[in-house]
Protein backbone atom coordinates (compact mmCIF):
# COMPACT_ATOMS: atom_id res chain seq x y z
CA UNK A 1 0.00 0.00 0.00
CA UNK A 2 2.83 2.30 0.82
CA UNK A 3 4.26 1.69 -2.62
CA UNK A 4 0.90 2.47 -4.16
CA UNK A 5 0.69 5.76 -2.21
CA UNK A 6 4.20 6.78 -3.33
CA UNK A 7 3.36 5.99 -6.96
CA UNK A 8 0.18 8.01 -6.69
CA UNK A 9 2.11 10.99 -5.21
CA UNK A 10 4.70 10.75 -7.99
CA UNK A 11 1.99 10.71 -10.64
CA UNK A 12 0.33 13.76 -9.07
CA UNK A 13 3.71 15.52 -8.88
CA UNK A 14 4.42 14.75 -12.52
CA UNK A 15 0.99 15.98 -13.56
CA UNK A 16 1.48 19.22 -11.59
CA UNK A 17 4.95 19.68 -13.13
CA UNK A 18 3.53 19.20 -16.63
CA UNK A 19 0.66 21.61 -15.94
CA UNK A 20 3.09 24.15 -14.48
CA UNK A 21 5.40 23.87 -17.50
CA UNK A 22 2.41 24.25 -19.84
CA UNK A 23 1.22 27.38 -18.01
CA UNK A 24 4.76 28.81 -18.08
CA UNK A 25 4.98 28.15 -21.83
CA UNK A 26 1.67 29.91 -22.40
CA UNK A 27 2.93 32.83 -20.30
CA UNK A 28 6.10 33.04 -22.40
CA UNK A 29 4.05 32.99 -25.60
CA UNK A 30 1.81 35.78 -24.30
CA UNK A 31 4.79 37.89 -23.25
CA UNK A 32 6.43 37.36 -26.66
CA UNK A 33 3.22 38.38 -28.42
CA UNK A 34 2.98 41.50 -26.22
CA UNK A 35 6.58 42.40 -27.09
CA UNK A 36 5.84 42.05 -30.82
CA UNK A 37 2.76 44.29 -30.47
CA UNK A 38 4.79 46.91 -28.57
CA UNK A 39 7.49 46.84 -31.25
CA UNK A 40 4.90 47.26 -34.02
CA UNK A 41 3.35 50.21 -32.15
CA UNK A 42 6.76 51.79 -31.73
CA UNK A 43 7.56 51.48 -35.44
CA UNK A 44 4.15 52.89 -36.39
CA UNK A 45 4.60 55.75 -33.94
CA UNK A 46 8.05 56.55 -35.35
CA UNK A 47 6.65 56.59 -38.89
CA UNK A 48 3.77 58.83 -37.80
CA UNK A 49 6.21 61.21 -36.11
CA UNK A 50 8.31 61.35 -39.27
CA UNK A 51 5.24 62.23 -41.34
CA UNK A 52 4.22 64.90 -38.80
CA UNK A 53 7.72 66.38 -38.77
CA UNK A 54 7.71 66.53 -42.56
CA UNK A 55 4.32 68.28 -42.51
CA UNK A 56 5.56 70.76 -39.90
CA UNK A 57 8.69 71.48 -41.95
CA UNK A 58 6.53 72.07 -45.02
CA UNK A 59 4.35 74.49 -43.04
CA UNK A 60 7.45 76.33 -41.81
CA UNK A 61 8.73 76.62 -45.38
CA UNK A 62 5.35 77.90 -46.57
CA UNK A 63 5.25 80.46 -43.77
CA UNK A 64 8.75 81.64 -44.62
CA UNK A 65 7.79 82.03 -48.27
CA UNK A 66 4.55 83.80 -47.34
CA UNK A 67 6.45 86.15 -45.03
CA UNK A 68 8.88 87.23 -47.74
CA UNK A 69 6.38 87.24 -50.60
CA UNK A 70 4.79 90.60 -49.67
CA UNK A 71 8.23 92.10 -49.30
CA UNK A 72 9.16 90.89 -52.77
CA UNK A 73 5.87 92.14 -54.20
CA UNK A 74 6.44 95.50 -52.54
CA UNK A 75 9.95 95.68 -53.98
CA UNK A 76 8.58 94.76 -57.40
CA UNK A 77 6.00 97.53 -57.12
CA UNK A 78 8.63 100.05 -56.11
CA UNK A 79 10.83 98.98 -58.99
CA UNK A 80 7.92 99.33 -61.42
CA UNK A 81 7.12 102.81 -60.08
CA UNK A 82 10.76 103.85 -60.45
CA UNK A 83 10.85 102.58 -64.01
CA UNK A 84 7.67 104.50 -64.80
CA UNK A 85 9.12 107.68 -63.27
CA UNK A 86 12.32 107.22 -65.30
CA UNK A 87 10.27 106.83 -68.48
CA UNK A 88 8.29 109.96 -67.61
CA UNK A 89 11.51 111.89 -67.00
CA UNK A 90 12.94 110.67 -70.30
CA UNK A 91 9.81 111.79 -72.10
CA UNK A 92 9.89 115.16 -70.36
CA UNK A 93 13.53 115.65 -71.28
CA UNK A 94 13.01 114.59 -74.88
CA UNK A 95 10.02 116.93 -75.23
CA UNK A 96 11.84 119.89 -73.74
CA UNK A 97 13.38 122.21 -76.24
CA UNK A 98 17.15 122.21 -75.74
CA UNK A 99 17.30 125.97 -76.65
CA UNK A 100 14.95 127.07 -73.83
CA UNK A 101 17.72 127.27 -71.22
CA UNK A 102 20.03 129.44 -73.31
The pLDDT of residue 68 is: 66
Average pLDDT in the 36-60 region? 90
The pLDDT of residue 36 is: 95
Q: What is the pLDDT of residues 1-33, one digit of tens each?
A: 566 667 788 888 999 999 999 999 999 999 999
The pLDDT of residue 9 is: 82
Q: Helix or strand or coil: residue 7?
A: helix
The pLDDT of residue 34 is: 95
Instruction: Give the length of the chain.
Output: 102
Cα Rg for the chain, rounded, in angstroms? 44
Does this model's pTM top 0.75? My answer is no
Across the chain, mean pLDDT equals 84
Binning the chain into helix, strand and coil, the percentages to the nearest 5 are 90, 0, 10
Average pLDDT in the 46-75 region? 81
Amino acid sequence: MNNNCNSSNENASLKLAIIGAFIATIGDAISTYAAVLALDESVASDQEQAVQMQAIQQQIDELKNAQFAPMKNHQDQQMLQMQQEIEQLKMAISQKNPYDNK
